[in-house]
Copies of this chain bind each other. A is one copy, B any other.
Amino acid sequence: MTSPKPSPEATSDPTGTKPLRADARRNRERILAAAEAVFAEKGPSASTDEVAAHAGVAIGTVFKHFPTKQALLQAIMKDLLARLTQEVDTLATDDAPGEALFTFITRMVEQAAQKRTVVGLLAETGIDLQVADSVQLLREGIEALLTRSQQAGTVREDIHLDEVIALLTGLCQGALHAGWDRDLQRRTLAIVFEGLRPFEARGGAAGTYS
């Protein structure tokens, strides 16, 4: 429904199996939402039973939609990655090209502190197979942000996408597990942003370190 373009489904599997019945689709959504909530709170070792209860469906229904727990976890990942990609794309069209990357990183770290999911899943599940293409999309979005920042002169030219993602991942993990408070998070990010800026741009707004 929400797919803006029918798209000859070769690109990235738009859930692509079959047009589900209305109630089935509704259940699918509820299960996904419940799973995200439950796993966010209790970590990926929470039981599928609990997810079912939280979604208000029977356990069988969960397994009907997601034949294994792995599949459910991956679905959450995809979902999340898609949302992040969307957010990246939105930021890319913003009017502050020099700050978009910094903003994105900041937002992700903020969310990580609340959601075990993204990070926790990456940890447990690895980035195996199925989600690879979703990840790729996100990478491309981030790359666009990086390029624009470099063109705007707020990020050094010699920095590659890989490092940015490495930093992003690490910072999210750290924020997640160590439970950084707002202030610590801000100061930590400021250091990293400082490291990303070229000499002449040091002390820029996003990197203000007090």
A interface residues with partner B (beta carbon < 8 Å)? 43, 45, 119-120, 122-124, 156, 158-160, 162-163, 165-167, 169-175, 177-178, 180, 184-185, 187-188, 190-196, 199, 202, 209-210
Contact = CB atoms under 8 A, between A and B. Distances in A.
A159 B209 CA distance: 9
Question: What does DSSP make chain A's interface, helix, strand, loop or mixed?
Answer: helix
Number of this chain's copies in the complex? 4
A169 B178 CA distance: 8
A186 B122 CA distance: 22
Contacts of A193: 195
Contacts of A160: 187
A175 to B, nearest CB: 7
B194 A43 contact: no
Nearest to A171: B170
B174 A170 contact: yes
A44 B203 CA distance: 42
Contact of A167 (B45, B122, B124, B191): B191
A163 to B, nearest CB: 5
Contacts of A174: 166-167, 169-171, 173-174
B166 A188 contact: yes
Nearest to A191: B195
A166 B180 contact: yes
A142 to B, nearest CB: 14
B163 A169 contact: no
Given A122-B178, A162-B184, 16 more contacts: A43-B124, A119-B173, A119-B177, A120-B123, A123-B177, A158-B210, A159-B191, A163-B184, A163-B187, A166-B174, A166-B185, A167-B174, A169-B177, A170-B172, A170-B178, A193-B195
A62 B124 CA distance: 25
B202 A188 contact: no
Given A124-B43, A158-B209, A194-B195, A184 B166 contact: yes
Contact of A178 (B166, B180, B192, B209): B166
A209 to B, nearest CB: 6
